[in-house]
A and B are shown apart, each in its own frame.
Chain A
């Protein structure tokens, strides 16, 4: 029992979450994607048994093998209860039985990496709705419970549970293979995977609401999964490195975005010593790896913008002309009004607030921005800089009406006070 403290150390980080997810992937590799639910159930039970056993005596020498073995045994029991198991002893069933009965300590890191990659291509299959993809990924690849996913997406546990059931059902109906797509298909499928991970990251990165730790967890899980893609020979493409860089360079500044009271801080108000400089270094290194190759993805440009902010020693030293240039490129690629809005901020930093306002007025699909609180907040900031107090107050009040999160409303209320206005 003297080993207790050492044992506790062994299960640091998110051991239960991530080891559990690995075993789900390994089981699904041998049982088939249609048995995802069974794999998840036996792994949940295996984790529960780990909790009950390890709590007394500490963690076994090879905890991952222990978990896999218990999950395999539970899977055999469950399959033997199914009649078909004994009736159809064809080649596949025999092979499956052989694997399930083999001791679990022969599992290599490479096998786990392969299985996890295959699981990613199942979870992020284009035939599944985007929200089903992210929920399924958090459940099976990241080991979140439905309740934890519900907290992250500000919805009910029942809604998430339903979403998961439907997703698994869809996997069975479509008989999705547990495999990495063929080379001809891989490129477009990888685009989908990267895009969903990008959305997952943004979900966590969005202005603080709900549980901040849960949201940061989402960001770190998205980073972990993209990092897996950059480590696997089949998917280590420049755009994957670019997305990883983008995530790291933004996540590094997460904790500096709010002050101790939870107030949102603007870039120039943030304490840059609070930024995670080790993560920034990782991001810059990843951006260098992304530069190999001839494609320039949206992720490359967004990562470069983030890198420009991260490498400025203070706000006044920010290379805004470079950021404006990057926004020009990004706008040419996406044509999105939100990109055009962000570009206007860079315009104002380089050429002054009046040209920033002109840039906002010049956005073609401006109507789609009218319902976005940030659009009005930016207009208000430009007007305030130009000394147009009345116009600034009008814009800030519109922004205040449209903002939904308390932290956002407080942020805008502070801008109104700065203009000499009173709280609405």
Chain B
């Protein structure tokens, strides 16, 4: 059993979630994201995407088990969702991330290569 890199990359999305966004700007941003996804879909790059709700709990072990409310809704550090894209190289993935409307509007994408578990 060994892990091997796949041809899939995951984008973890943080922001942009500026409080000062006007409804009009929000709508404009959403349309931009749709256009971006459409173009990735046409190129066969798009694989999946899912948002995460801001509510959540943090469950920690160690000195007993603690369950706390996350501060997800307020935190800019919180992951708002993810994309999975079919891309061959990290360079290509980074280039796509740079062109994304999220980054252009000041958000952040964490680009990770998805590992695959192979049984032989």
Contact of A1 among B30, B49, B53 (CB under 8 A): B49
Asked whether A49 is an interface residue with its Cβ less than 8 Å from the other chain, the reply is: yes
Asked whether B54 is an interface residue with its Cβ less than 8 Å from the other chain, the reply is: yes
Asked whether B92 is an interface residue with its Cβ less than 8 Å from the other chain, the reply is: no
- Once the chains bind, are B38 and A5 in contact (CB under 8 Å)? yes
Bound form: Cα–Cα A15–B51 in Å: 21
Of the listed stretches A140-148, A222-230, A413-421, name the one at the interface; the rest are far from the partner chain. Answer: A140-148
Asked whether B3 is an interface residue with its Cβ less than 8 Å from the other chain, the reply is: no
Bound form: Cα–Cα A2–B35 in Å: 12
Instruction: Give min CB distance, A400 to chain B, whole Å.
Output: 37
Asked whether A8 is an interface residue with its Cβ less than 8 Å from the other chain, the reply is: yes
Residues of A within 8 A of B29 (CB): 51, 55
Chain B 26-72 interface residues, beta-carbon cutoff 8 Å to A: 26-27, 29-31, 33-35, 37-38, 41, 46, 48-51, 53-54
Residues of A within 8 A of B48 (CB): 1
- Once the chains bind, are B24 and A148 in contact (CB under 8 Å)? yes
Residues of A within 8 A of B27 (CB): 11, 14-17, 51
- Once the chains bind, are B24 and A16 in contact (CB under 8 Å)? yes
Instruction: Give min CB distance, A263 to chain B, whole Å.
Output: 28
Query: With contacts defined as CB atoms under 8 Å apart, how many contacts are there between chain A and chain B in the complex?
Result: 88
- Minimal Cβ-Cβ distance residue in B for A142: B23
Contact of B22 among A7, A11, A53, A147 (CB under 8 A): A147
Asked whether A186 is an interface residue with its Cβ less than 8 Å from the other chain, the reply is: no
- Once the chains bind, are A7 and B34 in contact (CB under 8 Å)? yes
Contact of B80 among A1, A52, A143 (CB under 8 A): A52
- Minimal Cβ-Cβ distance residue in A for B80: A52
Bound form: Cα–Cα A51–B22 in Å: 11
Instruction: Give min CB distance, B88 to chain A, whole Å.
Output: 21
- Once the chains bind, are B30 and A56 in contact (CB under 8 Å)? no
Contact of B37 among A4, A15, A44 (CB under 8 A): A4
Q: Count of chain B residues with Cβ under 8 Å from any Cβ of A?
A: 29
Instruction: Give min CB distance, B2 to chain A, whole Å.
Output: 32
- Minimal Cβ-Cβ distance residue in A for B21: A48
Provide the A135-178 mask, 1 if CB < 8 A to any CB of B, else 0. Answer: 00000000111011000000000000000000000000000000
- Once the chains bind, are A57 and B46 in contact (CB under 8 Å)? no
Bound form: Cα–Cα A144–B24 in Å: 8
Residues of A within 8 A of B30 (CB): 8, 11, 51, 54-55
Instruction: Give min CB distance, B8 to chain A, whole Å.
Output: 15
Provide the A114-151 mask, 1 if CB < 8 A to any CB of B, else 0. Answer: 00000000000000000000000000000111011000
Instruction: Give min CB distance, A162 to chain B, whole Å.
Output: 16
Residues of B within 8 A of A380 (CB): none
Instruction: Give min CB distance, A21 to chain B, whole Å.
Output: 8
Asked whether A31 is an interface residue with its Cβ less than 8 Å from the other chain, the reply is: no
- Minimal Cβ-Cβ distance residue in B for A11: B27
Asked whether A20 is an interface residue with its Cβ less than 8 Å from the other chain, the reply is: yes
Residues of A within 8 A of B23 (CB): 14, 16-17, 20, 44, 47, 143, 145
Provide the A1-31 mask, 1 if CB < 8 A to any CB of B, else 0. Answer: 1101101100100111100100000000000
If the complex has contacts A1-B41, A1-B46, A57-B50, are A52 and B34 also in contact, measured as CB distance less than 8 A?
no
- Once the chains bind, are B34 and A16 in contact (CB under 8 Å)? no
If the complex has contacts A16-B23, A147-B20, are A8 and B49 also in contact, measured as CB distance less than 8 A?
no
Provide the B72-83 mask, 1 if CB < 8 A to any CB of A, else 0. Answer: 000000001101
Contact of A17 among B24, B35, B83 (CB under 8 A): B24
Residues of B within 8 A of A56 (CB): 49-51, 81, 83
- Minimal Cβ-Cβ distance residue in B for A157: B20
Most buried by A among B20, B23, B26, B34: B23
Residues of A within 8 A of B83 (CB): 56
Residues of A within 8 A of B26 (CB): 16, 47-48, 50-51
- Minimal Cβ-Cβ distance residue in A for B82: A56
- Once the chains bind, are A144 and B22 in contact (CB under 8 Å)? yes
Residues of B within 8 A of A52 (CB): 17, 51, 54, 80-81
Most buried by A among B26, B38, B51: B26
- Once the chains bind, are B31 and A8 in contact (CB under 8 Å)? yes
Bound form: Cα–Cα A55–B50 in Å: 9
- Once the chains bind, are B24 and A55 in contact (CB under 8 Å)? no
Bound form: Cα–Cα A15–B23 in Å: 9
If the complex has contacts A11-B31, A55-B30, are A4 and B54 also in contact, measured as CB distance less than 8 A?
no
Some 8 contacts from A to B, beta carbons below 8 A apart, are A4-B34, A5-B38, A8-B31, A47-B26, A55-B30, A55-B33, A144-B24, A145-B20
9 cross-chain pairs, A with B, having the tightest CB-CB distances, nearest first: A145-B22, A16-B23, A16-B27, A8-B34, A55-B33, A56-B51, A56-B49, A51-B26, A17-B23
